[in-house]
Amino acid sequence: MSLVLVLSALAILLLVLVLFVRGRRDAPQGTPLPNGRSLVILTFVGLLLALASQLPMFA
């Protein structure tokens, strides 16, 4: 079960990285990212899943 959590967290964090790089490349210089809030939420969910995989009940 913990392996599923780790792999899903890794997939979410890689998705966030791709969206961030694509958004940063397309956005004009000095402007905020148009989907910045969703990137923060997805990053939080990915980190939460990664931390949850370390709980003893998923070992």
Domain tally, the chain: 1
What per-residue confidence (pLDDT) applies to 59? Answer: 65
Range of the structural domain that residue 53 is part of = 2-58
> Is residue 15 classed as helix, strand or coil in its secondary structure?
helix
Per-residue tens of pLDDT for the chain, all 59 residues: 889 999 999 999 999 999 999 888 877 887 887 788 999 999 999 999 999 999 898 76
What radius of gyration, in Å, describes the C-alpha atoms of the chain? 14
Can you read off the two tokens belonging to residue 57? 């009940």
Residue 26: the pLDDT is: 79
- For residues 23 and 31, the answer to whether their CB atoms sit within 8 Å is no
* Cβ 6 vs Cβ 50: under 8 Å: yes
